[in-house]
Amino acid sequence: MKNTSFAELQLLEPILRAVRDQGYDTPTPIQSQAIPHLLDGRDLLGIAQTGTGKTAAFALPILDLLAGERRPTQSRRPSVLVLTPTRELASQISESFAVYGKHVGVSQTVVFGGVGQGPQVQVLKRGVDVLVATPGRLIDLISQRHVNLDSVEVFVLDEADRMLDMGFIHDVRRVIAQLPKDRQSLLFSATMPNDIVKLAHTILNDPVRVEVTPPATTVERIEQSVLFVEKADKRKLLGMVLRDKAIERALVFTRTKHGANRVVKSLQQIGEKAEAIHGNKSQGARERALEGFRQGRVRVLVATDIAARGIDVVGITHVINFDLPNIPDSYVHRIGRTARAGKDGTAISFCDTEERAFLRDIEKVIRQKVPVVPEHPFKSKGGPARGPARPATSQATSKQASQRGRTGGNKGAAGRGRGRGGNRSGNRSRSGGRAMARSA
């Protein structure tokens, strides 16, 4: 596929400048495929996971549309609503809007639970163009009349499958019921279970479908290995693995919050700078841990799947599965944290006797065997029948085994055709007529 440039996407100059400031040279596949359609006012079904550049894929055209529109910001009535499952993801999306929108006068804020409502209410009262929210807090604010969705022109539902997993789908439907019928809608999901297909049908109107980087493609860029170990030895094994200086920034996954705390404690006992991030921690503690990790003060961040959702930290060199997930897709999500925006990474998994079945399921989904590290000091008795691979932190990986080259995984946009007709501006002229894609 030909590499489109950002300039070819015909975004406004101040937005292109912000993109350049970020050091982005070329749009990622989801950006080059989605942005032209979004500027045209089309609805979009984006099948993409975090790490593909999907935030900019929607934030850039939204900012472009708002910047060209020049209409007054209204108190409590945002023009754009982005709904996302976790606080971390919400904060990151809001930061992205701030970064990409720094040269255009678009106001935005983020609301989520677990923190005081007062400051959020104040900002909403003053008025914002873009509101990024998690469902629970948004519903609270709507029911108290601190926010009204009547003026929403663009609605983004992010990580729809996670919303479902986390039990938010009911709340999502309640929010959607508050939106005006005439709007532009975008739905992003890494996977498309039946419930999401149904939801997409109710939200989207003749959407363009853009699908990027199916899990196997991301996985191919990651050097994977598995170490068989008894459950009781996992903490010692982790201490040993972390002695490798090549591990600059490691994200360690445990199945439970308690497990995360125990791992952090044992790492701190051996002098490792480690922090846990999970739902039992206060928002402040989570943000401090994440910031320490970003800045390199904390080398090891220990997280559960839910807490890690949406964490966007550049330069995670290693993902370590202290516990293997029982849902194979979670494995793909987890290890994808290390192969952000075209970078490679390493994923090391610990597998105890009870987790062997999880490993088999994972291997089916990623369509490859994870190379086994046969020799290490904490090898479990019932050791593996297969292998061999070099030590976990060396270069022996699935990558060489499955080096089929990067395809980018682009399936191309499907479902073309005009948008909602009458109300849409159709082919937007990039010189004049920069009004929002729907007429008032």
Contact call for residue 337 and ligand AMP (CB under 6 A): no
Whether the CB-CB separation of 204 and 388 falls below 8 Å is answered with no
Among 11, 18, 34, 55, binds ligand AMP (CB under 6 A): 55
Residues 6+ positions from 32 with CB-CB distance below 8 Å: 3, 4, 9, 26
Distance of closest approach, residue 86 Cβ to ligand AMP, in angstroms: 13
Q: Is 173 helix (H, G, I), strand (E, B) or coil?
A: helix
Contact call for residue 54 and ligand AMP (CB under 6 A): yes
Contact call for residue 275 and ligand AMP (CB under 6 A): no
Residue type, 53: G
CA angle 153, 196, 76 (to 5 degrees): 25
Whether the CB-CB separation of 108 and 130 falls below 8 Å is answered with yes
Distance of closest approach, residue 1 Cβ to ligand AMP, in angstroms: 15
Distance of closest approach, residue 57 Cβ to ligand AMP, in angstroms: 7
Sites for ligand AMP among residues 99-158 (CB under 6 A):
none
User: Token pair 């400051």 is at which residue?
Assistant: 119
Closest Cα to residue 46, out of 189, 192, 162?
189
Contact call for residue 189 and ligand AMP (CB under 6 A): no
Q: Which is nearer to ligand AMP, 56 or 199 (CB)?
A: 56
**What are the helix (H) ranges across 72-113?**
87-100
Among 340, 399, 424, 428, binds ligand AMP (CB under 6 A): 340
Contact call for residue 399 and ligand AMP (CB under 6 A): no
Other Cβ atoms closer than 10 A to 409: 17
Closest Cα to residue 327, out of 428, 190, 147?
190
Q: With CB under 6 A as the contact rule, which of the stretches 8-16, 51-59, 151-159, 210-218 interacts with ligand AMP?
A: 51-59
Contact call for residue 211 and ligand AMP (CB under 6 A): no
Whether the CB-CB separation of 362 and 370 falls below 8 Å is answered with yes
Q: Which is nearer to ligand AMP, 27 or 36 (CB)?
A: 27
Contact call for residue 218 and ligand AMP (CB under 6 A): no
Distance of closest approach, residue 22 Cβ to ligand AMP, in angstroms: 6
Q: Which is nearer to ligand AMP, 23 or 271 (CB)?
A: 23
Whether the CB-CB separation of 161 and 172 falls below 8 Å is answered with no
Among 29, 51, 259, 371, binds ligand AMP (CB under 6 A): 51
3-state SS of 107-148 is CEEEECCCCCCHHHHHHHHHCCCEEEECHHHHHHHHHCCCCC
Distance of closest approach, residue 312 Cβ to ligand AMP, in angstroms: 5
Distance separating alpha carbons of residues 260 and 250, to the nearest angstrom: 14
Contact call for residue 32 and ligand AMP (CB under 6 A): no
φ, ψ at 99 (rounded to 5°): -70, -50
Q: With CB under 6 A as the contact rule, which of the stretches 52-60, 254-262, 326-334, 400-408 interacts with ligand AMP?
A: 52-60
Sites for ligand AMP among residues 287-316 (CB under 6 A):
312, 314
Among 9, 28, 187, 348, binds ligand AMP (CB under 6 A): 28
Contact call for residue 214 and ligand AMP (CB under 6 A): no
Contact call for residue 343 and ligand AMP (CB under 6 A): no
Applying CB under 6 A, the site for ligand AMP has a residue count of 15
Count of all residues that appear for the chain in the document: 440
Q: Rounded to whole angstroms, what are the CA distances from 377 to 98, 104, 190, 234?
A: 48, 57, 38, 11
Q: Which is nearer to ligand AMP, 98 or 435 (CB)?
A: 98
Whether the CB-CB separation of 183 and 176 falls below 8 Å is answered with no
Contact call for residue 345 and ligand AMP (CB under 6 A): no
Q: Which is nearer to ligand AMP, 391 or 409 (CB)?
A: 409
Nearest residue (beta carbon) to ligand AMP:
55
Q: Is 351 helix (H, G, I), strand (E, B) or coil?
A: strand
Q: Which is nearer to ligand AMP, 213 or 225 (CB)?
A: 213
Among 15, 27, 139, 332, binds ligand AMP (CB under 6 A): 27
Chain positions contacting ligand AMP, by CB under 6 A? 24, 27-28, 31, 50-56, 312, 314, 340-341
